[in-house]
Amino acid sequence: MNFFEATVRVLSHKGHGVVDHPDGRMFFAKGVWVGETARFRLTGTEKNYDVISVLEIISPSPHRVSAPCAHHGSKKCGGCPWMFISYEEQVQAKEKRIDFLLSKNNIPVEKRFSLIASDKNLGYRNRAQFKTDGVSIGFVTEGTNDLYAIEDCLVLNPQMREHLKVLRSHLPRADWSSTGTHPWNYIEMDDHQAVSDIQLNRRRPFRQGNSEQNIKMKMWIEEVLKDAPKEHPVIEAFCGSGNLTEAISNIGFTNILAAEVRGVAIDELRSKKMPGVQIMEIDMNIKGVWQQLSRRQPQAKILLVDPPREGLEMRAGLFNSLKQLEKVLYISCEPNTWARDVKDFQANGWKVESLTPIDLFPHTPHIELMSVLKLR
């Protein structure tokens, strides 16, 4: 039965619609919303699960809108999969996902704050990675290796849109054609650089992609730590180029150990010469990392972590090494690994004092979590 009708009953953690086949199988569908009834077609198998496509929306959601971007849709850009739904409804969906996550993992939270929505849902993005084959420039369609050419990107901020316009004016370029294992090269850029400084296949230091929301993240840190004694030793792990280090330094902490693996980001951090900041070059994913940090900052009272999606992979040694800790600020870009890690904190006598979700990327399922953990 390759064709069937079904109603979307919930969204998956990746933001896809969950639908049930008449024979009892469950499928994930892109481009549909909770409560919508649609006609689907079974199209094949991908990464060990069956794939379906939407043929027709029979009963659309009242929150469905016309996407403003010409590149939005199936087999196109794929960068803003929720652009067909009102932003207000997107915010509610993210709130529900967090509530479900807390309930599923039995994580009590003393103070659960509402998601901080983005003031802009277009024109907010300060960085991007494009792909180019020397003839066109764009993004790779989700689930494929195919380059989808774009003329503009509405979620980029004005400077980034101008960068893209200039890059497109340089096409075609023979020196941008692929010579490697992929049929394209990548161009990573942000609004801190001039177009003339953009280089092919060159990584840029990590930055939060939404400048306005990044300011709110720093304000959150300042609010959480405003009453803490400024002589308390602080460890910041996964500090990158010092984005959040600036917030800690600016409110007067005098003994901050900022830790990051050697690379471009740590060089940028060092160049900022922030008062009260010591720098430790260390890979946060090696065995014994917390013991090494504790030797450098043995009396640490406060820990700030902002790991990548994988979370705190080496968290086991944290609890035995940093015995003086009183407060942990855990910022996460992946709720599932956050929940996994927090359950370990709970098992070691910690609790979630507060949780504040923040939306950095409108029109996507992405959610950032800002949490404060304290010993019970």
Residues 117, 360: contact at Cβ < 8 Å?
no
Is residue 77 annotated as part of the catalytic site, yes or no? no
pLDDT at 205: 86
Is 91-119+210-375 the same fold as 3-62?
A: no
Residue 316: the pLDDT is: 86
* Residue 48 pLDDT class (50, 70, 90 cuts): low
What is the residue-averaged pLDDT of the chain?
A: 94
As its CATH architecture, domain 3-62 has Beta Barrel (2.40)
pLDDT value for 45: 65
Other beta carbons less than 10 A from residue 111's beta carbon: 10
The average pLDDT across 52-71 equals: 96
What's the pLDDT score for residue 197?
93
Name the residue ranges covered by the structural domains of the chain.
3-62, 91-119+210-375, 127-197
Apex CA 84: angle with CA 78 and CA 89, to 5°? 120
The pLDDT value given to residue 49: 63
* 91-119+210-375 homologous superfamily: Vaccinia Virus protein VP39 (3.40.50.150)
Q: Which comes out higher in pLDDT, residue 206 or 165?
A: 165
As a whole-number percent, the residues of the chain with pLDDT over 70 amount to: 98
Phi-psi region of 317 (alpha: psi -120 to 50; beta: other; left: phi over 0): alpha
Tokens of 196: 């003339």
Instruction: Give dist(CA 237, CA 135) in Å, integer.
Output: 41
For residue 342, the model assigns a pLDDT of 98
Q: Is the pLDDT of residue 306 over 70?
A: yes
Alpha-carbon distance 18 to 201, whole Å?
Answer: 37
Beta bridge partner(s), residue 37 = 7, 59
Query: 1-22 pLDDT, tens per residue?
Result: 689 999 999 999 889 999 999 9
Q: Among 133, 128, 131, which Cα is nearest to 189's?
A: 128
pTM > 0.85: yes
Sequence-separated (6 or more) residues with CB below 8 Å from residue 197: none
Catalytic option among 69, 153, 239, 333: 333
